[in-house]
Structure 1
C-alpha cells in the first residue's frame, strides 16, 4: 500500500509541476515537436534531438518488461505502455501504482512477448541509444540546452520525464529477474544504479523467460508427480 501511495503522489506531484510550476510554454513548441518527429532537424540543438528520440527508446525498454509483467495483472498493461509512447512517465506511473507484485510467469509467450523477450531486441535498442547519445554529445550545445531547460516547458518537462524513467525502472526489475530465476542482488543494483544503459544492458544479458511446460526456472526443482 505504501508503494501505491508513493507512486500516486509522485504522479500527482509531477503532473502539478508540469502544468503549473514548470517554465512557461514557448511560441513555436508545436512546430519544434513536428520538426523533431519528421526529421527536420536543421537548426535544432543535437542534444534536444537526442533527448527527444531517447524518449522513444524508453517506452520500448519498458515494453520489454511491462508486457510480460502485465500477464499476471488485473489491469491492461498494454494500455499504459501504448500511452507512454506519447506521454512518457505520465502513463507509466499509474501502472506502477496499480500493479501488484508479480514474480512468476504463467503460460506461454506469444509472438509479441517472444520479440520483447529476445536479447536481439535489447541489442538493437542499445546500439540505437549509443548512436543517439554520441550524436547529442558530439554536436550538442550545452549552454543552449541549459537555457532552454530553464525557459521552455517542453524541454524542461521532457528532461525530467527522462530522469524519472531512468530512476523508476528498478521498480519492475526485481520481479522480472525473479521470473527468470535470476536472484542476484549485486546484478540488481548494478543495473539499477546505471541510468539508461543499465536497463539496456539488462535486456541484452537477462536469461530467457521460461514458459510453463517448456523448461523449469533455473535452480527450481521440478514438481513431484
Structure 2
C-alpha cells in the first residue's frame, strides 16, 4: 500500500515537472517569436527616426544657408545700386588724396578719419577669421579680401554670398597657418585700432589741439555735427559710412565660425555667447581684442 502511494506521488511529480518544462519551453518560444517579429521593427523605427531627424537638420541648415545668401546678396545689390544712383552729393577726391597720403590728417573730419581707416582694418579682421579655414574650400577668400581693401563690401559681398559656412573643428590637413595667426600682426592691429580711437574721438589729449582750443566734449560734438552735414552732402562720406556699417554687421558670422572652430560654445556656453556679442558689437576694437586673446589652433 505504501509502495503504491509512493509510486503515485512520484508519477504526479514527474507529470508536474514535465508540464512546467513544457510551459517554460512555450514561453521561450513565444519570447523568441516576439523578438524576431517586433525587435527588427523597433530597430527599423529607430533608424527611420534618426534618418528623419538627420534629414530635417540638413534641410534646416540648407534653408538657413539659403536665407543667409539671399539676405547678403540683396544687401549687396541694393547697396551697389544706391551708391552709384541715389547717394547724395558728389565724390570729393581731395579728401581721398589727403587720407591716402596721411591717414590721420587733422584737416579732415575726425569721425570720417575713423571710418576711412576702419575700412582698412575690417578686411584685416575678415582675413584673420576666414583665411585659416579656407585650405580645403573650392572658393578662395584671398582675392576678394585683397580687393576689399580698396572697394570694401563691393568686393567682399560676392564671396560672403557664395562661401560655405563651416562650424565643425578643423583637422591638421584642413588648417593653414597664415600671417594673421602671428602675434606681431594681431597686436599691431590692436594698437593701431586703439590709436585710431584715441585720435578720432579725441580721448587723448583731453583738450583739443585745434585752433579754437575747445574742451574735449564740445570739440567732439562739433566734429559729429560736421560729420552729419558731410554725410548728407558728400557722396564719399555717405557711401563709406554705409560700407563701414555693413562690413561690421556681416562680421558676426565669420566671428562665430572662428570661435566654434577653436573650441568655444562647448562648456561655458553663456559666457562664450556674451564674449561673441561683445566682440562683435564694439566696432573694430572688439574683434581686435578677440584676435589677441583667442586660443591657438591645435589638432586635439
Q: TM-score, normalised by structure 1?
A: 0.84
Secondary structure at 1:208 match in 2: coil
Aligned mate of 1:117, from 177, 181, 205: 181
Q: Which residue of 2 aligns with 1:76?
A: 140
Q: Which residue of 2 aligns with 1:155?
A: 237
Name the CA distance, whole Å, in 1 between partners of 2:119 and 2:82.
Answer: 19
Residue ranges of structure 1 left out of the alignment (5+ in a row): 217-225
Contact 2:136 2:174 survives alignment (8 Å): no
Contact 2:121 2:284 survives alignment (8 Å): no
Contact 2:89 2:232 survives alignment (8 Å): no
Q: Does 1:17 align with 2:17?
A: no
Q: Does 1:7 align with 2:72?
A: yes
Q: Which moved more, 1:71-80 or 1:180-189?
A: 180-189
Cα deviation digits, residues 145-189 of structure 1 (max 9, x gap): 111111111001111111112111111122211211222333222
Secondary structure at 2:201 match in 1: helix
Name the CA distance, whole Å, in 2 between partners of 1:8 and 1:22.
Answer: 19
Name the CA distance, whole Å, in 1 between partners of 2:112 and 2:276.
Answer: 30
Q: Which residue of 2 aligns with 1:35?
A: 98
Q: Which residue of 2 aligns with 1:179?
A: 261
Residue ranges of structure 2 left out of the alignment (5+ in a row): 1-65, 203-207, 209-219, 266-271
CA shift for structure 1 position 78:
0.6
Q: Which residue of 1 aligns with 2:296?
A: 208
Point out the structure with max Rg over C-alpha: 2
Secondary structure at 2:135 match in 1: helix
Secondary structure at 1:74 match in 2: coil
Q: Does 1:145 align with 2:209?
A: no
CA shift for structure 1 position 42:
5.5
Name the CA distance, whole Å, in 2 between partners of 1:166 and 1:124.
Answer: 20
Name the CA distance, whole Å, in 1 between partners of 2:239 and 2:133.
Answer: 27
Q: Which residue of 2 aligns with 1:222?
A: none
Distance 1:52 1:190, change over 3 A: closer
Contact 2:122 2:247 survives alignment (8 Å): yes
Contact 1:15 1:90 survives alignment (8 Å): yes
Q: Which residue of 2 aligns with 1:45?
A: 109
Q: TM-score, normalised by structure 2?
A: 0.64
Distance 1:68 1:114, change over 3 A: closer
Aligned residues: 208
Q: Does 1:198 align with 2:286?
A: yes
